[in-house]
Amino acid sequence: MKIALLGFGVVGRGVYELVAPRSDIQVTHVLCRRDLTLPDAIVTHDFQDILLDSSIDTIVEVMGGLHPAWDYVREAILAGKNIITANKAMVAEFYDELLPLVQEKNILFRCTAAVGGGIGWLSELERVRRCETIRKVGGIMNGTCNYILDSMTRHGVTYAEALSQAQHLGYAEANPTTDVDGIDTWHKLIISSNVAFGVSMNKHQIPVHGIRNILAEDVAQFRSHGLCCKLVSTGQMQGGHFCAYVQPTLFYQDEIESTVPTNYNLITLEGNTSGRQSFYGQGAGRYPTAYNVVQDCIDFTHNHGFYSVCQRKVDICNDNRMQYYVRGSSDSWLEERTVETWGKAAITAPVSVEEMHAWCAKYPNVFMAALPERKDIQC
């Protein structure tokens, strides 16, 4: 199998290194903006060199971003080339167009590394769906945010120090605000929901609250109440409607989520017959992510593409209610719903996810986190 790599950054170089000793997969071309010399592959700045070379059967897109990545992928599909990508922003944005195109051109497509880095989450989700009704997907899906929250909680470092370490370790996106504002997690929730439930949605109806405003004083409050904060995604079928959101969420220190360290992810599904299944592993970094790209390449050597094209359109309805920790601003709406205070923060009575996110959207400096359902918080 002859592949062309689009991009030679953190992941692209990892794929190149992992494939090098294999005899079944060969990287013959690399598209890269930098001047680069590789011993066994042609390096080009021009995508047409790859598109027009009929010896290349598979395009591995690891450049990231929407454009020109999507333009290249689209052209490659139309030219009949198979596609592997780790680009969650692109897949989340263009899924509804991408999948019918894949089917129409009868090519193979996989994007396992797009969600969960080194975890075979999407591959397994596809398998689970064969004989299971999935009720809920989500969890800790961003290695950078988990690294920051874990470092603040266990090592007492500041938010800025932890973010800089995560960037240095190659976990963060080119623009780290994508990580800390929850956008990367949002992309991964959209793709997971597309695959798990066979649905498409107006993704801009999914509310997101990230971790950029968290302070050491918040972490200290959580610790003193026996809690630990994680950035969590939720996609859930409830009756006929679909709820979906991304928000900081508090867990008791004895819950499995609280134990997830550094750049690790913990992604969970709940099925009607299998119950809870959780997938744990490194969610970011060169080799974990490259590993799943190589797994997708190997699947292609067995002619195995994936994902159903059936995309039932669903509306998002976040009317489920929970209590929240809120710090950074106040007004009469919040005061009327405050049942106690923790330091400078308000603890609300149960309010709907939709209401809470709409309120937070008015105050850019607010930090909020959902409280756990159990009532035995240490006071």
Q: Give the residue with the Cβ less far from ligand HSE, 179 or 270.
A: 179
> Which of these is catalytic: 188, 203, 230, 362?
188
Q: How far is the CB of 223 from ligand HSE (least distance, A)?
A: 24
Concatenating the DSSP letter of every residue in 286-333 gives: HHHHHHHHHHHHHHHHTT--------EEE-B----EE-EEEES---HH
Per CB under 6 A, the list member of 64, 235, 271, 283 interacting with ligand HSE is 283
Judged by CB under 6 A, does residue 292 bind ligand HSE? no
Q: 349 by DSSP, 3-state: which? A: coil
In this structure, what DSSP letter does residue 201 have?
A: E
Per CB under 6 A, the list member of 12, 117, 138, 139 interacting with ligand HSE is 117
Q: How far is the CB of 160 from ligand HSE (least distance, A)?
A: 17
CB contact burial 46-69 (16+ within 10 A = b; e otherwise): ebeebbeeeebebbbbbbbeeeeb
* 44 burial level (CB within 10 Å; 0-12, 13-18, 19+): middle
Per CB under 6 A, the list member of 180, 284, 297, 334 interacting with ligand HSE is 284
* Separation of alpha carbons 169 and 147, rounded Å: 10
Q: How far is the CB of 110 from ligand HSE (least distance, A)?
A: 16
Beta bridge partner(s), residue 43 = 30
* Separation of alpha carbons 201 and 289, rounded Å: 27
Q: Quick one: which segment of 51-59, 141-149, 203-211, 253-261 binds ligand HSE (CB under 6 A)? A: 141-149
Specify the length of the chain in residues.
379
Q: How far is the CB of 171 from ligand HSE (least distance, A)?
A: 5
Q: Give the residue with the Cβ less far from ligand HSE, 58 or 178.
A: 178
* Separation of alpha carbons 353 and 318, rounded Å: 6
Judged by CB under 6 A, does residue 14 bind ligand HSE? no
Judged by CB under 6 A, does residue 184 bind ligand HSE? yes
Judged by CB under 6 A, does residue 142 bind ligand HSE? yes
Q: Give the residue with the Cβ less far from ligand HSE, 173 or 354.
A: 173
* Separation of alpha carbons 34 and 244, rounded Å: 40
2 is catalytic: no
Per CB under 6 A, the list member of 18, 172, 189, 290 interacting with ligand HSE is 172
Q: Give the residue with the Cβ less far from ligand HSE, 147 or 245.
A: 147
Q: Give the residue with the Cβ less far from ligand HSE, 89 or 206.
A: 89
Question: Which are the contacts of 109, defined by CB distance < 8 A and separation ≥ 6?
Answer: 77, 82, 83, 84, 98, 99, 102, 305, 306, 307
Per the listing, tokens 């006929």 go with 240
Q: Give the residue with the Cβ less far from ligand HSE, 38 or 169.
A: 169
Judged by CB under 6 A, does residue 179 bind ligand HSE? yes
Q: How far is the CB of 248 from ligand HSE (least distance, A)?
A: 15
Q: How far is the CB of 293 from ligand HSE (least distance, A)?
A: 12
Cβ atoms of 145 and 167 within 8 Å: the answer is no
Omega within 30 of 0 (cis) for the link into 288: no
Judged by CB under 6 A, does residue 61 bind ligand HSE? no
Judged by CB under 6 A, does residue 143 bind ligand HSE? yes
Residues catalogued as catalytic: 188
Interface residues with ligand HSE (CB under 6 A) are: 117, 142-144, 171-173, 179, 184, 283-284
